[in-house]
Structure 1
Amino acid sequence: MSTQDPIFIQVGDLADGFAPDSNILMNTAALIGQQFTLHFADGTSQHIQIENTQTLSWQASQTTAPVSTPYRATTLRDGIYFLDFISPIQAASTITLVINQHQQSAVMVVGQLPTEAETRIDMFSRVEKNLPLTPVTTQISFATFNRPFTNDDQLPTFTQELIGQRVMYTYSKTERYEHVYLNDHFYAWQCLDGVEKGLADVDRCHYIKVSDLLYLFVWQEKIVPTLGVVMVDLQRLKTDGKIVGYRGNDFGELSNFPVGAIAQPLNKTIHPAIAS
């Protein structure tokens, strides 16, 4: 039994710990040559063309020029793709898409890491100023592609289906975590084995249902600025996604690295209703 307090580490160190023999998926080449014009509820659109295995072309709006940028694409289920890249036009920002070709729909998660000044606002000051505890922000949007936007049942949606679940995730031979999905806004995590062993916290999160037993899970950490965007397949018992944060203490370089795990549901808590 250790009496030494566990220490939070930088995201770059976390990436180094996750890298060896990880359970990430291989990149897919299935999207090469395909184009997606995304239509959003506010009437805006974006255009993506997958150029090759290395780069895609992204047009952020109808009035901006396309920009080529490196990307990663994987698939947990046939016709559903996880696509991720660092924004080429916004500092410390990443863009993640889940593309469902069966329904011609998509989820877009735009994540923004804080500046150094924003990060160094302490928790008590955040409470005093009515600020979120985490300085990491996300913008989650739903879209159709290659068809006009319609708010129909083909779109992904926020869900409560994961709430109450306790799941163990094995990322590699050395890295193992446990998640408990508490409510609409928060989940608890702890590192069972690995570079963060003994660490635990409760952080802001979002749950999105993509298909039956297939979810997009997004979380924003508050101590070390970190964003996670991961597909969770509780039918296949597999996950794949990414974690992004700063590589070191100087806020000058991002670490946007892939993660994937074998999922093992442990139990589900259902709280009894309060009698009225």
Structure 2
Amino acid sequence: MNTQPIFIQVGDLAEGFAPDSHILPAVSDFAGQTLRLHFADGSVIEHVFETASDLNWTVVAGAEAGQSGVDSYRATSVREGIYFIDFIKQSARATTVSLVIDNKRGLFTAVIGTLPSEAETRLDAFSRVEQGLELTAVKAVFAHGTINRPVTLGEELHQPTRELIGLRNLYTYSPTERYEHIYLNENFYAWQCLDGVEKGLADVDRCHYIKIDSNLYLFVWREKIIPTLGVVMIDLDRLKTDGKIFGYQGNNFNELSNFPVGALAEVLNTTRYPQD
């Protein structure tokens, strides 16, 4: 007899992904460095990497000038000269910051993700539709800019892309965890768990695609059932991914789970629709 698959909390997902996972090793390349990130809107945030795992940040210019914080970060490099840096922003509620540092072009992309409150999470899908809200209550803000220099007029920054649309990919996160992704259109992708703690589960969720380099993408998804934010780099040359999944540890909305993920990737097929 078939059993009904059950959606699990992100904390439980982290435990399933952890053993023998294909995450990249953390790098210490930023230890002792200072990066000034110049945003396209004129804001400037300085990041001082005190060690391989601790940083200080200060808003130097912009609407939030003067704000600062001390956080622990993880940095990896999915491709030479391009880094993924991620940390929980302790000064804000249920918020993480993910940075793509592109030293090859002197560019960066920032993703500021925030989980919904308990009240927002418990608002049902029909009520969200009635109120004109997105089905997911997970928030993600994207910002782009340059590193250690102001953005120049007309400069080409990291941009949204359609290049992943139509791909059907297989991701193996560990010997026990396998997922399939189908990138449907600019706003949505479909996923299903083939093996692992979510085996049998599937859904269609909100997503975003940013092109970082040739065959290298930042992929972000926001789930609507269990509050979940995924931020990963997809390298289709190396057939490798690395990033993180962010959510609540359990049902009490007081404890966060922000854990690294990485997968071996395989392109299963590509769908190309006839043009009008």
Match of 1:88 in 2: 90
Distance 1:151 1:197, change over 3 A: farther
**How far did 1:153 drift?**
5.4
Unaligned runs of 5+ in 1: none
Distance 1:126 1:66, change over 3 A: closer
- Please state if 1:51 is matched with 2:50: yes
| Matched residue SS, 1:31 | coil
- Please state if 1:263 is matched with 2:265: yes
Distance 1:71 1:151 in 2: 32
Task: Let me know the Cα RMSD of the aligned residues.
Answer: 1.1
Distance 2:70 2:206 in 1: 32
Determine if contact 1:103/1:154 at 8 Å carries over to the other structure: no
Match of 1:71 in 2: 73
Determine if contact 1:47/1:59 at 8 Å carries over to the other structure: yes
Instruction: Give the alignment of 1:219-238 within 5 angstroms.
Output: 219-238=221-240
Distance 1:165 1:151 in 2: 34
Instruction: Give the alignment of 1:191-230 within 5 angstroms.
Output: 191-230=193-232
Determine if contact 1:104/1:144 at 8 Å carries over to the other structure: yes
Match of 1:40 in 2: 39
| Matched residue SS, 1:107 | strand
Match of 2:172 in 1: 170
Determine if contact 2:29/2:52 at 8 Å carries over to the other structure: no
Distance 1:95 1:189 in 2: 24
State TM-score, norm by structure 2.
0.97
Distance 1:142 1:130 in 2: 28
**How far did 1:28 drift?**
0.4
Distance 1:50 1:80 in 2: 17
**How far did 1:150 drift?**
2.5
| Matched residue SS, 2:26 | coil
Residues 214-263 of structure 1: CA distance to partner in whole angstroms, max 9, x if unpaired? Answer: 00000000000000000000000000000000000000010000000000
| Matched residue SS, 1:127 | helix
**How far did 1:171 drift?**
0.1
Distance 1:244 1:105, change over 3 A: same
Letter in 2 for 1:52: T
Match of 1:113 in 2: 115
Identity of aligned residues (%): 58
Letter in 1 for 2:201: L
**How far did 1:65 drift?**
4.9
- Please state if 1:144 is matched with 2:146: yes
The farther-off stretch of 152-161 and 19-28 is 152-161
**How far did 1:60 drift?**
3.4
**How far did 1:54 drift?**
1.8
Q: 2:159 aligns with which of 157, 160, 174?
A: 157
**How far did 1:152 drift?**
4.7
Match of 2:186 in 1: 184
Distance 1:154 1:162 in 2: 20
Distance 1:59 1:189 in 2: 38
Determine if contact 1:164/1:180 at 8 Å carries over to the other structure: yes
Q: 2:105 aligns with which of 92, 103, 106?
A: 103
Instruction: Give the alignment of 1:238-257 within 5 angstroms.
Output: 238-257=240-259
Determine if contact 1:174/1:194 at 8 Å carries over to the other structure: yes
After the TM superposition, list the runs of 4 or more consecutive aligned residues in structure 1 that deviate by more than 4 angstroms. 151-154
